[in-house]
Amino acid sequence: MKYQLKGNFFSNSYHLPPTSGPSSVDVIIDRHSPANTEQLLWKMPVDYRHVEPVVESAVKGFKTWRATPLEERIAALKRFQEIALSKKGEIAEAISLEMGKPLWEAMTEANSVVGKVDVTINDSLKRIQASPIKDIMPRTTGHTLFKPLGPCLVIGPFNFPCHLANTQILSALLAGNSVIFKPSEKTAYSGELLIDCMVQAGFPEGVINLMQGDGEVASRLVKDRRLKAVFFTGSKEVGLKILKSTYNDLSKMVALELGGKNPAIVHKDANTDLALAELLKGCFLTTGQRCTSTSIVAIHRSLMDEFVSKFHTYAKKIIIGHPLDNKPEPFMGPLVDQRAVDSYLLFMGMAKREGIEEVMRGKHLNKPTPGHYVSPSIHIAKGLDKKSHFLASEIFGPNCTFIPYDEVDEAIEIANSTEYGLASCVFTEDKNLYQKCLLEVDSGLLNLNRSTCGASAKLPFGGIKNSGNYHPAAVAAIDACVYTMTSLEVEHSSEDSDLKSIKGLDI
């Protein structure tokens, strides 16, 4: 067994659920590496009895942390940053082995964990700081206070097991909230490493909490009324379940970062070499397991044949292998598990049944180590078919489907045709066309001459329609970690006690 999990962290210590004896747990989750299914990474005992003490710990920690001066909170985040920097190699390797992304890509995620501290302090913090307004009324100063919500639950995804959760955790902490982190059960060790860096940074008791487990653990935490915020990154289906579980609890803020069916528009004046490189990354980075992965490419009919041919040529050259390989380094590792492989292959059959042309077939690949490896896939649809399940669904695998268009309005209709609205992009030299897309394309992000995977931590990140619920992450995550209180501060004078000035008072 590669790793040994420490258990759940609450009340300032780790608690490993018992696996034997009369009080042993009923559920133990085994995790094998998707890159080598013969390698057992860890065994995770799941103890639902720990939900209660974890919540109690977070409630206690909030009372301490909200009263902690901002300077001390910043200092704690800086200590975490130093520890995470020293452990980034260990974090990157764990991410690679648990979810399958190549080590070089996992290292960029580990680096982003470190860099996010500076962004949170330097860019996010100013969003919840307001200056007093003098003379808002006679002899009166107006104040806006941004107050922490309370204990926050962060439910992390498997595809960016540290980076995405880290953004929400840091924002919550800086704003004065305590945190419970529930990692994906597929990437429990990566999540533990992230929390362990915070534990070593010396936060007060109860401020940092870790609860490992399955969907039942998350469900029980979500329903607890003592938790005042839920941050979830994952599928639309689970996001809807969270909303159904919390709709009657008006005291709970729910921020959802969900999936996407992300379109690119390649116009007739595009720099095709640039578009080729960007779309190869946009479609196939992380083996297509990004919520921002490019799925649909609306391409001008005059470019399509030559562009798709070149795209296919380069897609066949993608190196697919074990994420820790370095001779040569792979561009793509495996999918996260067998269920993901089965789903991906199911979509390949669906495309064929719907009459969508197959340019490159997605299939399971045999490698030196047994794993969940698949090839990229490329399809061509004759046009927009609103009845197509394949064209509407988030595949969450390395697929790209081209759809030709003649007029820009057709391309925008293609871009807006799905239930999702996370990321989009357009390749053109025409700034007026870009402005038209900014106005008419329904998505939370729209890039010019850059793939849908290009996002900055210094900008808000979130989607519309079924890609989110209007609580963007990245620099804006901190907005959902506070509520506003306003205050009028009046300077007293002898006139304030003049009861005779009150109209309608018979004295």
Catalytic residues: 257, 291
d(CA 7, CA 17): 7
What does residue 465 show for φ and ψ, rounded to 5 degrees? 50, -130
d(CA 11, CA 261): 41
Q: Which of 174, 214, 195 is nearest to 71 (CA)?
A: 174
Amino acid type, 149? L
Q: Which of 42, 373, 396 is nearest to 191 (CA)?
A: 42
Burial annotation 219-252 (CB, 10 A radius, 16+ → b, else e): ebbbebeebbbbbbbbebebbebbeebbeebeeb
Helix (H) or strand (E) holding 93: helix 88-99
Neighbours of 496 (CB within 10 A): 10
Helices (H) and strands (E) in the chain, counts: 14, 23
The alpha-helical segments, DSSP class H, found in 299-430 are 301-315, 338-353, 389-392, 408-415
Q: Which of 455, 442, 156, 168 is nearest to 292 (CA)?
A: 455
Q: Which residue has the tokens 């490992």?
A: 212
d(CA 334, CA 332): 7
β-bridge partners, 232: 155, 256
d(CA 71, CA 77): 10
